[in-house]
Structure 1
Amino acid sequence: MKFKDISRLSADKFFNKIPKNPVIVTNLFTHPWLSASRGLQDDFDLLIRDEYTANLIVPIEIQQPGVALSTDQRFEVPFGLFYKLFIQNEQKDKKGYLAQYDLLSNSPYLSNLLPVIPHLRDLYAKSSSWLGPEGTLTPLHRDAISDSNILLQLVGQKRVNIIDPMYSNLLDLHPSNSPLRNFSKQSAEYPKEGDFIVHTAILEPEESVYIPAGYYHSFKSLSRSFSVNFWFNLPK
């Protein structure tokens, strides 16, 4: 297994010619996103300041160290309760993770804080939010085969690992008839054995990562973390 740092590209150059390989995209945050990111870094409780948002019913995953993802670890709870139990009062043995839920579309308060970035609006992108304490993991997987993905890091640090789809037979994936198809069976960020290349980087607040369609990827929160991603199809 080999490791390669992900290269960097400015937002203007990125959207002028979207590359075929993973890159860290810099300067993508518009002024509202910069203000929101810095405000949340100072006061994370801004996320639940709005009563309507705090009462939203959201899907969460309960994660335990060394235990692989399964469908019976998923629950629905009010967003404010999730935040109180797992963000304000971090637990060591079990971690709650809000994963793949479109907070921005469901919360007028948050969509006002984080309006769609013009470049992404032009691509008719759909979004999801990701919120969890240190140690939460998005297991190795790939998105719908036609979807490119760009993730924006608002608060905290997150490690991203990206693997070319040419190595899919080495990644210990769930079978195609499983609800978790295209996900790794392992609880680690990626298989520790195998002759493949892992592109890796640590995302800081106000940085973004682009993942081309079909590429496998995992994320590990290195601190309390809040991210928003956008899936889109490239223009023909």
Structure 2
Amino acid sequence: MAAAVGGEAPAAGPAAGGALWAEVWALLPGSEEELTLALSGEVDGCVRPLLRRARGLLYGAEGRPGGEAAAAALRRLGDVLRDYSWEKLNAGPWREVSKAWRQVYAYGCLFGALAEVAAGRPLAPAVRLCDMGLLMGASVLDNVLARLVRVLQQHLPREQRRGAAGLAAESARTEPRPAPAVRPEDAVPRLRCPSLEHFRDNYLIPQKPVVLEGIMDHWPCMRKWSVDYFCQVAGCRTVPVELGTRYTDEDWSQKLMTVGDFISQYIVNEKSVGYLAQHQLFDQIPELKEDISIPDYCCLGEGEEEHITINAWFGPEGTISPLHQDPQQNFLAQVFGRKYIRLYSPQDSENLYPHESQILHNTSQVDVEDPDLVKFPNFRKAEFQSCVLMPGQVLFIPVKYWHYVRSLDVSFSVSFWWS
């Protein structure tokens, strides 16, 4: 990796693909000085020299020969930076982790991924490093990891892009199971494309749930998304997966795996229940974000559009979100599959027996569809509304409204949290 001359990409070693390396190099600043290594806060004194040394190797400042030796040295520095910052990321509550340490971790992932490419090694580990940086790190160099992984993904062999599930994802399409009965007197009202004023006056201000129809028909995801499509677009991407039927179960856990492995194990083969539920998916895989739109009704809120949190919910039949409440208004948009949903007013909170612990204070102890009325006798007093949310429908869940969700099929939903 000799120094760049006249804006050209430095040599990447005899084993590296010249075209790929040139494409990767074009994502980086044109000179060593322009790669500023800026951090949003203080870190241990030994870290900045390590970052500068890695940058020097990348741009050839130490005079090392191009090829495997420089790539190996850069890879080792990436390992050191990730290992050192990983301890800081896991030393306490996530909200207390300094952004500077998350940036150090992102740089470690960046240098490690670049070293893999420069050495001409298989690209799957480099893709995983980018994803780890996007998940655990903080944005550096104008979100270079997101741009880098998009390039690398395009150069993976087709079978690696799809991941372990491959064409077997087609077998996940099964005949729909019967849905729970919804009594007319309990049904959430439905409206087709109400005006902003009508929605505001009749549902937002009085805080009443409603199912909106027709507002997402034009979203590209409605004609593009399927289990097989996710294999094509994101099969090789590493994401966090929740393992277990519901997050209140004792055996519930989380695991990092590729989307392809998740689909193969939990969607196609139904090994057990796992759920892809996270708010970073659309930032991590921008191709998916391009296929959805923020509902126009969010403009009635007080916050700016960039403050809207977009969450992805992808999982098999039988996955359950226990009865809980969220701190913001919520539009739950159903892309494919169906969900059975029950809603309870915040006024019924005492009858819903929230957990006493601070961690689960927003979650009910009651199993909604099989309640223990001896242990929770007042639950029978709580009035509810319910619906079976179908593809193309959007449920408005007012802030603090209790809701229980069970997937009736393989399902993908998108939720928008707004104030």
Under TM normalisation by the shorter chain, which class is it? 0.7 to 0.9
CA offsets 1:52-78 (integer angstroms, 9 cap, x no match): x631322323227xx943585233323
Secondary structure of the residue that 1:50 maps to in structure 2? helix
Mapping 1:140-219, distance limit 5 Å: 140-144=323-327, 147-177=328-358, 179-189=359-369, 191=371, 193=373, 194-219=380-405
1:23 is aligned to 2:210: yes
Question: For the structure 1 residues 187 and 77, does the alpha-carbon distance in structure 2 shift closer, same or farther, using more than 3 Å as the test?
Answer: farther
The answer to which structure has the higher strand fraction is: 1
Unpaired runs of 5+ residues, structure 1, are none
Q: Percent identity?
A: 27
Correspondence for 1:139? 322
Report which of the two structures shows the higher radius of gyration computed on alpha carbons.
2
2:413 aligned partner: 227
Q: TM-score, normalised by structure 2?
A: 0.48
Secondary structure of the 2:414 match is strand
Instruction: Return the alpha-carbon distance in structure 2 between the equivalents of residues 219 and 22 of structure 1.
Output: 14
Shift of 1:199: 0.6
Q: Deviations over 1:34-60 (max 9, x none)?
A: x422333xx421113125x63132232
Out of 264, 272, 276, the residue aligned to residue 98 of structure 1 is 276
Residue number among 208, 220, 230 corresponding to 1:47 in the alignment: 230
Which structure carries more helix by proportion? 2
Long gaps (5+) in structure 2? 1-182, 374-379
Contact 2:238 2:256 in 1 (8 A): no
Does the alignment pair 1:62 with 2:247? no
Q: Which residue of 1 aligns with 2:186?
A: 4
- 2:296 is equivalent to residue 110 of structure 1: no
Helix, strand or coil: the match of 1:54?
coil
Deviations 1:185-214 (A, max 9, x none): 344457464201111000110011001111
Distance in 2 of aligned mates of 1:105 and 1:122: 24
Q: 1:38 aligns with which of 207, 218, 223?
A: 223
Partner Cα distance (2:196, 2:406) in 1? 25
2:37 aligns to what?
A: none
Quick one: higher RCO (CA 8 Å, sep 6+), 1 or 2? Answer: 1
- Cα deviation for residue 15 of structure 1 reads 5.9
For 1:229 and 1:89, the matched residues in 2 are separated by 27
Q: Which residue of the partner structure matches residue 76 of structure 1?
A: 256
Confirm or deny: 8 A CA contact 1:63 1:73 kept in the other structure. no
Secondary structure of 1:49's counterpart equals helix
SS state of the match for residue 181, structure 1? Answer: coil
SS in structure 2 opposite 1:86? helix
Deviations along 1:89-130, one digit per CA (max 9) or x if unpaired, are 223xx3111224332222111112224445447752211011
Compared CA separation, residues 171 and 122, structure 1 to 2 (3 A): closer
Considering only aligned residues, what root-mean-square deviation do their CA atoms show, in Å?
Answer: 2.6
